[in-house]
Amino acid sequence: MHLLGTRDLARDEAINLLDIAEDMAAVQEREVKKLPTLRGKTVVNLFFEDSTRTRISFEAAAKRLSADVINFSAKGSSVSKGESLKDTAQTLQAMGADGVVIRHHASGAPHTLATSGWIDAGVINAGDGTHEHPTQALLDAFTIRRRLHGAASRGRGLDDVRVVIVGDILHSRVARSNVWLLTTLGAEVELVAPPTLVPVDTAAWPATIGYDLDAALAAAPDVVMMLRIQAERMHAAFFPNSREYARTWGLDDARFDRLPGTTMVMHPGPMNRGLEISARAADSPRSTVREQVANGVSVRMAALYLLLSSERGEA
Ligand code: CP
C-alpha cells in the first residue's frame, strides 16, 4: 500500500485517514509522548529537495509511533556522484526500510519507486515536482474540518465549504492535491491566479478559475489559501515583478481587513511575507499557518499507521 496522491483517494478513505489523525491528535493532547504502534519498523525519509515542515513532521510522526527513522538528504550523499534513484533506494532498503517517504524534484518519482519493483516498502509522496503533495492537502483538510466542526469533526467531509486558492497554481503540487482532495470531500474550489501562472490543463480540474482576487474575496469564502511564488521553478524572465504581484495577487493588509471575520487564512509554508501574504494576515488569529504545521504531525502519524501497522495486516 502506498500514498502517492489525492486524485484517486475515495471520500471514505480520506475521511478514515482524517479520523485516525483525530485519534492521533487526541493522544498527543493527552501528552502521551509515544505509541508503540510501529515498534520494530523503519521509516526512511528520502529527500531530494529541501524541506523544513514535511521532513521534520514525518520524522516526529514516525518517532511518536516508535518507528526507527533514517534521514537521507540528497545533498552531501552519493547522488552528487551520479548515483541513481534506483540504487539509492535499494541501498536504503538493504538497511531495512519498511516505509519510504520521498520528496523529489521530478513529478512521478514516488510513483516510479512504488511500482518499479525496485524496493519492497510502502511509499509516501512527500511532494514530487509540480505534481502532488498529498499529506499537505490532508493536513489542510484536517485543519479546515477542525476549525469548522471542532470536536464534532469525526466522520465529516467538507460539504459546501467554499475555498479560494490564490497564486502560483502553475508550480503548485499543494494546489493540485488540494483541488482533488477538497472537492472529493465536498468543497467548492475556486482558483485565482495571474493568467501566466495557470496550468494549461485546468479545464479538466473540478475547480473554477478566476483572475480577479478582489471579486473572489468579496464573495466571502470560508477559506483563503495563499500559495508561495516558487521562484526556484521559474525562469528569471518569467518571475513576476514583486511589487506588482503583491498589489494584484497578494493578501495585503487592505484585502485582509475586508475579509469577513469568519474567513480562515491558510498558507502551506514557507511564506514570502510581503509578497503573497502580509505579516498581519499571516500572524492573525484567523491564520491557520501554525495549526497546519502542528496538524501535519497527526496526519502523517495516521498515514504511517495506515501504511505500516502490522496490526492492520499487510496491505
Ligand atoms: N509545506 C511544505 O511542504 O513545506 P516544506 O517545503 O518546508 O516541507
Q: Is 270 annotated as a binding residue?
A: yes
Ligand 1, atom 6, lies closest to the CA of 51
Mean pLDDT of the chain: 94
Indicate the fold that domain 134-288 takes in CATH: Rossmann fold (3.40.50)
State the pLDDT at residue 31. Answer: 84
- The alpha carbon dihedral of 108, 113, 114, 116 has a sign of positive
Q: Would you state the pLDDT for residue 102?
A: 97
Name the segment(s) of the chain with CATH classification 3.40.50.1370: 11-131+293-314, 134-288
pLDDT of residue 234: 81
pLDDT value of position 241: 82
**Which ligand 1 atom is the nearest neighbour of the CA of 268?**
1
193 CA from centroid of ligand 1 (Å): 21
Residue-wise pLDDT tens digits, 190-235: 999 999 999 999 999 999 999 999 999 999 999 999 999 888 888 7
Over the stretch 147-170, which tens digit does the pLDDT of each residue have?
999 999 999 999 999 999 999 999
User: Grid coordinates 541513481 are at which residue?
Assistant: 84
Gyration radius of the chain's alpha carbons = 19
For residue 311, pLDDT beyond 70: no
Block residue for cell numbers 508550480: 171
- String of b and e for 26-55 (b: at least 16 CB within 10 Å)? ebbeeeeeebebbeebbbbbbbbbebebbb
Contacts 24+ apart (CB under 8 A), 251-256: 251/166, 251/224, 251/226, 251/276, 251/277, 251/278, 251/281, 252/278, 252/281, 253/278, 253/280, 253/281, 255/213, 255/214, 255/217, 255/281, 256/280, 256/281, 256/284
Is the ipTM, as predicted for this complex, more than 0.90? yes
Residues with CB under 6 A from ligand 1: 51-54, 127, 136, 268-270
Q: Identify the CATH assignment for 11-131+293-314 out of 3.40.50.2000, 3.40.50.1370, 3.40.50.300, 1.10.390.10.
A: 3.40.50.1370
Mutate to test the pocket of ligand 1, among 136, 172, 277 (most ligand atoms within 8 A of CB): 136
Distance 50 CA to ligand 1 centre (A): 8
CA of 305 to the centre of ligand 1 (A): 21
Return the closest-CA partner of residue 300 out of 101, 158, 129, 164: 101
Give residue 236's pLDDT band: very low, low, confident or very high (50, 70, 90).
low
Q: What is the mean pLDDT of residues 67-91?
A: 92
The pLDDT value recorded for residue 231 is 80
Residues 87-99: tens digit of each pLDDT: 998 998 898 999 9
133 marked among binding-site residues: yes
Residue whose CA is closest, atom 7 of ligand 1? 52
